[in-house]
Amino acid sequence: MNMKQAIFSLVFLLAATWAHAQLTLDECQRGAQANYPLVRQYGLIEKAREYDLSNAGKGYLPQFSLSGKATYQSDITELPVEIPGVNIKTAPKDQYQVMLELKQNIWDGGEIRSRKEQVKASSDVDREKLNVDMYALTERVNQVYFGILLLDEQLRQNQLFLEDLERTHKQISSYIENGIASQSDLDAVSVEQLNTRQKRIELTSSRQAYLSMLALLTGEEMPAGISLQKPVPEWDIPVIANNRPELIWFDAQNGRLQVQEEALKTQLMPRFGLFVQGAYGNPGLNMLKNEFSPYYVAGVRLSWNFGSLYTLRTDRRVIAANRQLLDSNRDVFLFNTRLQATQQGSAVESVRRQMADDDEIIRLRTSIRKASEAKVANGTMTVTDMLRDMTSENLARQTKALHEVQLLMNMYQLKYTTNN
């Protein structure tokens, strides 16, 4: 665990003081970012960048090479005339040589500089791709976090409904004593209580499963009693600018293509350098001396390779095709995110319009339920009908709670889609 993760863990533990702690969405997002295994790749990308740049820069250093050869040739050079009394030596047919060569680059046509630029461009692409992958984690945390908030609201409404049923159970018991209700009416309330308790067990189990997922994402323990703070967005909807990290990733890829295109020019440039060769062989520089001897050669060297002209046009076309493909991918991404943002913006407005009537629906359902209780007390309505009205009131309250969480979830989903 690095220092950043250790500090976050300490803050996380202090902030979420277990059973009565309130955990925020921002804390969960930071915890997930610090805990996700991909985060370690940032350091690896930077190290690889440093190593590759260091290697590329070493092209300016003197280059040493050692070579050796042994040859046998079928014929040798001889003088076409013979001089009486003079023995003219010839080079041996078998020749041997061991050579140490030192080369110093003076000008390489910009190849080393271009190689460094390509290393930087590739490193930028890798880093921005990692940013994209890390950003996707935000959506996963949002889904789990708001899923827990929704379950918390359902559990709260479930508890309120249980309390109402308990109160109703006592009322029906007293009605039985007064001869207003029967045992079957009490049994109907008991069945509703059992169903509601079963639903609570189901909701509690689901909440624990979601807490386990959140614990895996953040790398921290999540006790059953921990509570999540409902976020209050500081922005009003929309949205128009798109600040997703994918766009920066596309820009980085385009920058790499530009560097690759510039690198093609270096292949057409001449190379100029110095060299020193020290050798030991038979024959040496004196081809007519059949014996091993040391020697050296020093000088300047100019080389100009025109072979890249054959592929230059094709290489440029390949880069152009890759750029068109990149532009197409960017346009597709922008289109999809624009479509998603439009749909999510409409969903937010839809939930807002529905929420405008939630309180009135609850008020009316409460009024109906109270009237039903009065009718049961007067013996003009069955308990079963009253329970139906109680259930309808409970559903109305659950719907309002659902709309509140849905609104937040849709707003944060819209925020994720545009990174605003």
Flag whether 136 is in a domain.
yes
Can you tell me whether residue 309 is helix, strand or coil?
Answer: helix
What pLDDT is recorded for position 16?
45
Q: Are strands 94-107 and 227-228 parallel, antiparallel or unpaired?
A: unpaired
pLDDT grade for 241, boundaries at 50, 70 and 90: confident
Same domain, 117 and 200: yes
The tokens for 319 are 């880069």
Same domain, 43 and 140: yes
Type and span of the H or E element at 273: strand 271-282
Average pLDDT, the chain: 86
pLDDT at 5 over 80: no
Flag whether 81 is in a domain.
no
The tokens for 231 are 């976020």
Between 79 and 300, name the one with better pLDDT. Answer: 300
Share of the chain above pLDDT 90, in %: 44
What pLDDT is recorded for position 190?
92
Would you list the DSSP string of 113-134?
HHHHHHHHHHHHHHHHHHHHHH
Same domain, 362 and 224: yes
Residue after which a domain boundary falls, among 259, 284, 305: 305
Flag whether 112 is in a domain.
yes
pLDDT tens per residue, range 390-400: 889 889 988 99
What pLDDT is recorded for position 15?
46
Flag whether 160 is in a domain.
yes
Flag whether 1 is in a domain.
no
Same domain, 102 and 184: no
**Structural domain boundaries, residue 281:** 65-73+90-106+272-305
Flag whether 343 is in a domain.
yes
CA proximity to 106, closest of 242, 247, 275, 353:
275
Whole-angstrom CA distances from 210 to 19, 109, 151 are: 17, 60, 9
Flag whether 220 is in a domain.
yes
Tell me the mean pLDDT in the region 320-340: 95
Share of the chain above pLDDT 70, in %: 90
What pLDDT is recorded for position 144?
94
Q: How many domains does the chain have?
A: 2
Q: Are strands 271-282 and 94-107 parallel, antiparallel or unpaired?
A: antiparallel
What pLDDT is recorded for position 13?
47
Tell me the mean pLDDT in the region 321-343: 94
What pLDDT is recorded for position 99?
92
**What amino acid occupies position 352?**
R
**Paired residues of 276 in beta bridges:** 102, 298
Same domain, 287 and 334: no
Same domain, 141 and 38: yes
For residues 148 and 207, the answer to whether their CB atoms sit within 8 Å is yes
**Terminus-to-terminus CA distance in the chain, angstroms?**
31
- Could you tell me the pTM of the whole model? 0.79
pLDDT at 228 over 50: yes
pLDDT at 227 over 80: yes
**Paired residues of 274 in beta bridges:** 104, 300
Same domain, 369 and 230: yes
Same domain, 283 and 193: no
Give the C-alpha separation, 323 to 320, whole Å.
Answer: 5
Cis peptide before 294 (omega within 30 of 0): no
Q: What angle do CA 185, 191, 196 make, to 5 degrees?
A: 130
**What amino acid occupies position 146?**
F
| 393-399: Cβ within 8 A, 24+ apart | 393/362, 393/365, 393/366, 393/368, 393/369, 394/157, 394/160, 394/161, 394/164, 396/358, 396/361, 396/362, 396/365, 397/157, 397/160, 397/362, 398/153, 398/154, 398/157, 399/358, 399/361
Flag whether 13 is in a domain.
no
Q: Between helices 3-15 and 25-35, what is the axis angle to 10°?
A: 150
Same domain, 198 and 214: yes
CA proximity to 148, closest of 91, 230, 74:
230
Same domain, 280 and 410: no
Query: Among positive and negative, which fits the CA dihedral 122, 128, 130, 132?
Result: negative
pLDDT tens per residue, range 16-73: 444 445 899 999 999 999 999 988 889 999 999 999 888 888 888 899 999 998 988 8
Give buried/exposed letters for 269-288 (b at 16+ CB in 10 A, else e): bebebeeebebebbbeeeee
Tell me the mean pLDDT in the region 323-347: 93
pLDDT grade for 174, boundaries at 50, 70 and 90: confident
Give buried/exposed letters for 335-367 (b at 16+ CB in 10 A, else e): eebeeebeebbebbeebeebeeebeebbeebee
pLDDT tens per residue, range 185-206: 889 889 999 999 999 999 999 9
41 exposure class (CB count in 10 Å sphere: 0-12, 13-18, 19+):
middle
How many Cβ atoms from other residues are within 10 Å of residue 112's Cβ?
16
Same domain, 129 and 101: no
Between 10 and 220, name the one with better pLDDT. Answer: 220
Query: Domain with 32 in it: what CATH number?
Result: 1.20.1600.10
Same domain, 295 and 386: no
pLDDT grade for 240, boundaries at 50, 70 and 90: low
For residues 268 and 315, the answer to whether their CB atoms sit within 8 Å is no
pLDDT at 3 over 70: no
CA atoms in the 13 A half-sphere facing the CB of 334: 13
